[in-house]
């Protein structure tokens, strides 16, 4: 059988396609972003219909996929953990009503966090919704668990969560390909308003059914915990799930404890199998529980005198459970003292906007036009406007606009209210910005909103937005533009410009500020394509770097205020040079240098 | 039975340097040899010019991450990362580093790539060097050969002739510097 190198996200996508998914949706978010495009790519393995689409946000994505499962198809929705917060309203209710076709909710967690606002544990959301959750330890396991999830979902008519973490999503492994592929189901929606449109009285009944389902799932052998080392004995056991189980396996081997400590891997952290809990309590005095990021298994074992884990504080509650930490945990648990090498705490290089990124020009202009402003911002590459001093707040998707409103109201009666400038990306505006903008218009909030429109969802790997009219597989779709939405929300000032033309852009923001002071919300759309996406799309090589002339006196203004990584101050701080490897020749720095010391490259 | 092949390699650099691509070439070379392989990568925010690191584990492993003190080799595309990622190495581990100032296991890949007119090929120059550089007792550093990685490259860039030509040139230039 051929083996192929596959990212966890691709392996899950393959699992979905092989198991007859008929409808797959999602919204991009690290570390889940690659799943949906990989489903679209593997579509060629099937001849029957399979609809794959990005949705405008996770709630919409969830509801589309859920309805597909109500109609009897196997469906899936993918998102990152904070995306599940957005979809949680739908999730809680869908758990009560159940499904007909198998419905898999992939919610990828990011312990660390590496690229997220929180380290929240989606498994706790499964506990709250009362649905089962599976916790893979590798790409290959994640793929197997898609099959398991569909079987479980259809056996109990319940949504099933698959919860990979960053180390599963973004690791790659050799995976067998060319295996059998199941075709999808035919749609067959059966009207049943008592269930599908249940009133509170019937919700009570559905809640009772849900509890019964959970009790039966906690006895379902197919997802029961696995004992890996039957030879080991004693009154102490290690229980682990997810990638922590993979680390634990190597740690037990490295410590020569494989035959000494009974080691169990939990595949389904919720509901934890009732027999397993009884066995643990009966046979062990001490149980080390290794899981990310909250003690979901530990709390179901429910005996804190026996367990050592997140709740008892023996295992750190914050950050990723790295393999070196797990070696230390297991060694200490076994009463061994070993010296586990750790990485030194060295500050790495901070991320920055790409050289030539249009957001950099926008932020520079915003600071010039409103130097004393309050700058609310949002989730995306442009969060890195932090480095330019043009981002004061980042809360969650869409909050830039509502927070701008909050700051405006807070200062409304102050003697000299500061100008408020919000920045939000195009994709984020579609995702959660529109309702907030409607509210700001109704309340006549006097602020400027700069929509950073780079025609893509850049941070997560350049997925399309509703304004690009392109689907997840590259197919042509209808286009929804930003301007008509802004105008339709009732905004009286809406102008679009290219931030690369720095001078005119500063002027435009000043006009918007003047309008906002007198009237109400003003919107500026900063439109220039993401340089990364543009380079990929056109294949065009970057332009020649500009030239720094002798007029440069090393004042450092461009380095500090513009912070293009290609602008490098020399060692004795007398002059700036341009790194030809990094520079993409956008020529924006020419307009930034107050001394006029950067000039366009001469045509060769 | 022959001794089981096990090799753990850390590949380190900054976002945009092509750390992921270099990792993937090696991982595919492992699969071509019929060896099990794991990699772990940095995605998201850090890919925007921040510090990135990939782990590559060839052989029968369960976890995608390398523990500090366990790596056989470190391929470093940015010398400034040595203090952060050097401690991944075990005491006898080797380092290949892109550094202008010279020293054991180092090459000026930035200059070589610029001379090739392909400044973004630093990753392949360093990889070529690592594949050709002799290790202890003249044994190669890596589990696979230059020719095997070239084959992976040919496959990955099939149909994109100019990209393939440039990539091959970068890999060879690095190998020649060894
Ligand atoms: S990926 Fe695009 S949007 Fe993101 S920092 Fe780079 S140029 Fe800017
Ligand atoms: S032209 Fe200037 S601003 Fe643009 S990438 Fe080069 S150094 Fe940076």
Length of chain B, in residues: 178
The full set of domains in chain A, from first to last, is: 3-222 (3.40.50.970), 224-333 (3.40.50.920), 358-538 (3.40.50.970), 547-599 (3.30.70.20)
Q: Give pLDDT tens digits along chain B (178 positions).
A: 345 789 999 999 998 889 999 999 999 999 999 999 999 988 777 778 888 999 999 999 999 999 999 999 999 999 999 999 999 999 999 999 999 988 889 999 999 999 998 888 999 999 999 999 988 888 999 999 999 999 999 999 999 999 999 999 999 999 999 9
Q: B113 contacts in A (CB within 8 Å)?
A: 581
Q: What would the pLDDT profile of A536-563 be if each residue is shown by its tens digit? A: 888 888 889 999 999 999 999 999 999 9
Grouping H, G, I as helix, E, B as strand and the rest as coil, residue A253 is helix
Could you tell me the two tokens for B144? 């696979």
Cis peptide bond N-terminal to A78, omega within 30: no
Say how far apart CA A377 and CA A390 lie, in whole Å. 9
| Whole-prediction pTM | 0.95
Q: What would the pLDDT profile of A466-483 be if each residue is shown by its tens digit? A: 999 999 999 999 999 999
State the Cα torsion A353-A358-A362-A365 to the nearest 10°: 100
Residue A336 half-sphere exposure toward CB, CA atoms < 13 A: 17
Grouping H, G, I as helix, E, B as strand and the rest as coil, residue A592 is helix
In a mutational test of the B interface, the residue from A136, A338, A348, A533 whose CB has the highest number of chain B CBs within 10 Å is A348
Q: What would the pLDDT profile of A129-141 be if each residue is shown by its tens digit? A: 999 999 999 999 9
Distance A545 CA to ligand 2 centre (A): 7
Q: Are strands A103-108 and A74-80 parallel, antiparallel or unpaired?
A: parallel
Grouping H, G, I as helix, E, B as strand and the rest as coil, residue A74 is strand
Q: Look at ligand 2, atom 6, and give the residue with the nearest C-alpha.
A: A583
Say how far apart CA A514 and CA A495 lie, in whole Å. 14
Say how far apart CA B119 and CA B117 lie, in whole Å. 6
Q: What would the pLDDT profile of A491-528 be if each residue is shown by its tens digit? A: 999 999 999 999 999 999 999 999 999 999 999 999 99
Grouping H, G, I as helix, E, B as strand and the rest as coil, residue A19 is coil
Q: What would the pLDDT profile of A25-60 be if each residue is shown by its tens digit? A: 999 999 999 999 999 999 999 999 999 999 999 999
The residue of chain B nearest to residue A583, with distances taken between CA atoms, is B119
Say how far apart CA A144 and CA A432 lie, in whole Å. 34
Residue corresponding to tokens 């060896």: B35
pLDDT > 80? residue A1:
no
**What CA–CA distances, in Å, run from B166 to B106, B113, B145?**
22, 10, 19
Q: Is A327 within 8 Å of B14 when comparing Cβ atoms?
A: no
Contacts of A488 (CB under 8 A, 6+ apart): none
Mean pLDDT across chain A, nearest whole number? 96
Q: Is B67 within 8 Å of A351 when comparing Cβ atoms?
A: no
Could you tell me the two tokens for A141? 């396991």
Q: Is A4 within 8 Å of B81 when comparing Cβ atoms?
A: no
Pocket residues: Cβ below 6 A from ligand 1: A 353-354, 357, 359, 381, 454, 458, 530-532; B 48
Say how far apart CA A359 and CA A529 lie, in whole Å. 10
Of B30, B41, B68, the CB nearest to A343: B68
- The ligand whose atoms approach the alpha carbon of A364 most closely is 2
Q: A240 contacts in B (CB within 8 Å)?
A: none
- DSSP character at residue A558: I
Q: What's the average model confidence in pLDDT over A70-74?
A: 98
Q: C-alpha angle with apex A36: A151 to A46, nearest 5 degrees?
A: 65
Confidence band of A581 (pLDDT split at 50, 70, 90): confident
The predicted structure's pLDDT at residue B3: 56
The predicted structure's pLDDT at residue A248: 98
Q: What percent of chain A stands above pLDDT 90? A: 94
Q: What's the average model confidence in pLDDT over A235-246?
A: 98
| Residues of B (63-92) whose Cβ lies below 8 Å from A | 63-69, 78, 80-81, 83-85, 87-88
Q: Is B43 within 8 Å of A243 when comparing Cβ atoms?
A: no
Query: Phi-psi category of A15—alpha, beta or left, where left has phi over 0 and alpha has psi -120 to 50?
Result: alpha
Q: What is the phi/psi pair of residue A116, to 5°? A: -150, 165
Q: What is the phi/psi pair of residue B132, to 5°? A: -100, -20
Lowest-pLDDT range of A68-72, A300-304, B1-5, B115-119? B1-5
Q: What would the pLDDT profile of A378-417 be if each residue is shown by its tens digit? A: 999 999 999 999 999 999 999 999 999 999 999 999 999 9
The predicted structure's pLDDT at residue B2: 41
Confidence band of A347 (pLDDT split at 50, 70, 90): confident
Q: Could you tell me the maximum CA-CA distance found in chain A, to the nearest angstrom?
A: 81
- The sign of the CA dihedral A63, A65, A67, A70 is negative
Distance A530 CA to ligand 1 centre (A): 5
| ipTM associated with this complex | 0.94
Strands (E), chain B: 7-14, 37-40, 51-58, 71-76, 89-98, 106-107
CATH class, domain B7-177, is alpha beta
The predicted structure's pLDDT at residue B1: 33
């Amino acid at each position: 059988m051929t083996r192929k190198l596959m990212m966890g996200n691709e392996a899950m996508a393959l699992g979905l396609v092989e198991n007859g998914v008929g409808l797959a949706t999602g919204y991009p978010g690290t570390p889940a972003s690659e799943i949906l495009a990989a489903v679209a790519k593997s579509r060629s393995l099937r001849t029957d219909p399979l609809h794959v689409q990005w949705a405008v946000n996770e709630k919409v994505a969830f509801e589309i996929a859920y309805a597909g499962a109500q109609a009897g198809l196997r469906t899936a929705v993918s998102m990152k953990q904070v995306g599940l917060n957005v979809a949680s309203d739908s999730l809680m209710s869908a758990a009560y009503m159940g499904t007909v076709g198998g419905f898999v909710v992939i919610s990828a967690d990011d312990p660390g966090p590496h690229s997220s606002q929180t380290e929240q544990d989606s498994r706790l959301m499964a506990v709250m919704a009362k649905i089962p959750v599976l916790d893979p330890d590798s790409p290959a396991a994640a793929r197997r668990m898609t099959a398991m999830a569909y079987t479980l979902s259809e056996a109990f008519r319940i949504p099933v969560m698959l919860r990979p973490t960053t180390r599963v999503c973004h690791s790659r492994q050799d995976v067998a390909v060319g295996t059998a592929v199941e075709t999808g189901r035919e749609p067959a929606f059966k009207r049943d308003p008592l269930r599908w449109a249940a009133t509170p009285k019937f919700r009570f009944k559905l809640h009772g059914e849900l509890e019964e389902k959970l009790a039966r799932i906690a006895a379902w052998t197919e997802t029961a915990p696995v004992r890996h080392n039957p030879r080991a004995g004693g009154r102490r056991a290690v229980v682990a799930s997810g990638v922590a189980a993979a680390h634990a396996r190597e740690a037990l081997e490295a410590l020569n404890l494989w035959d000494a400590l009974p080691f169990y891997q939990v595949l389904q952290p919720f509901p934890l199998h009732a027999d397993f809990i009884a066995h643990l309590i009966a046979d062990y005095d001490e149980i080390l529980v290794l899981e990310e990021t909250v003690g979901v298994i530990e709390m179901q074992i429910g005996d804190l005198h026996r367990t050592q884990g997140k709740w008892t504080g023996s295992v750190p509650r914050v950050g990723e459970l790295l393999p070196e930490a797990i070696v230390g945990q297991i060694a200490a648990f076994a009463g061994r003292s070993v010296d586990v090498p750790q990485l030194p705490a060295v500050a790495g290089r901070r991320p920055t906007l790409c050289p030539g990124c249009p957001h950099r020009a926008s932020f520079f202009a915003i600071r010039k036009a409103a130097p004393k402003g309050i700058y609310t911002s949002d989730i995306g590459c442009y969060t890195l406007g932090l480095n330019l001093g043009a981002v004061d707040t980042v809360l969650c998707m869409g909050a830039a606009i509502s927070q701008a409103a909050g700051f405006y109201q807070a200062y409304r009666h102050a003697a000299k209210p500061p100008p408020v400038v919000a920045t939000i990306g195009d994709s984020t505006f579609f995702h959660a910005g529109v309702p907030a903008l409607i509210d700001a218009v109704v309340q006549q909030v006097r602020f400027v909103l700069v929509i950073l429109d780079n025609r893509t969802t850049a941070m997560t790997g350049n997925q399309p937005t509703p304004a690009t009219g392109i689907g997840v597989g590259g197919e042509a779709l209808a286009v929804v533009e930003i301007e008509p939405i802004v105008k339709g929300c009732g905004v009286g000032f809406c102008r679009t410009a290219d931030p690369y033309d720095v001078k005119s852009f500063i002027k435009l923001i000043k006009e918007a500020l003047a309008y906002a002071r007198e009237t109400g919300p003003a919107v500026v759309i900063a439109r220039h394509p993401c340089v990364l996406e543009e380079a990929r799309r056109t294949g065009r090589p970057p332009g020649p770097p500009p030239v720094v002339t002798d007029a440069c006196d090393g004042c450092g203004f461009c380095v500090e205020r513009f912070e293009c990584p290609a602008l490098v101050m020399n060692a004795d701080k007398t002059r700036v040079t341009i790194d030809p490897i990094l520079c993409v020749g956008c020529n924006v720095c020419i307009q930034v240098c107050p001394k006029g010391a950067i000039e366009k490259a001469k045509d060769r | 039975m022959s001794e089981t092949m096990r090799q753990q390699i850390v590949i380190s650099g900054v976002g945009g340097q092509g750390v992921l691509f270099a990792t993937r070439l090696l991982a595919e070379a492992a699969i071509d040899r019929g060896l099990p392989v794991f990699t772990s990568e940095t995605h998201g925010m850090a890919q925007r010019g921040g510090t990135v690191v990939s782990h590559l584990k060839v052989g029968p492993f369960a976890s995608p991450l390398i523990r500090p003190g366990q790596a056989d080799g470190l391929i470093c595309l940015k010398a400034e990362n040595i203090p952060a990622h050097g401690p991944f190495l075990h005491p006898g581990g080797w380092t290949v580093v892109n550094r202008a100032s010279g020293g054991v296991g180092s090459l000026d890949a930035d200059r070589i790539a610029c001379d090739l007119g392909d400044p973004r090929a630093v990753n392949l120059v360093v990889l070529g060097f690592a594949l050709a550089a002799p290790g202890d007792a003249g044994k190669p550093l890596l589990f696979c050969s230059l020719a095997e990685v070239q084959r992976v490259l040919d496959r990955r860039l099939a149909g994109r002739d100019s990209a393939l030509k440039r990539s091959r040139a970068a890999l060879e230039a690095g190998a020649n510097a060894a």
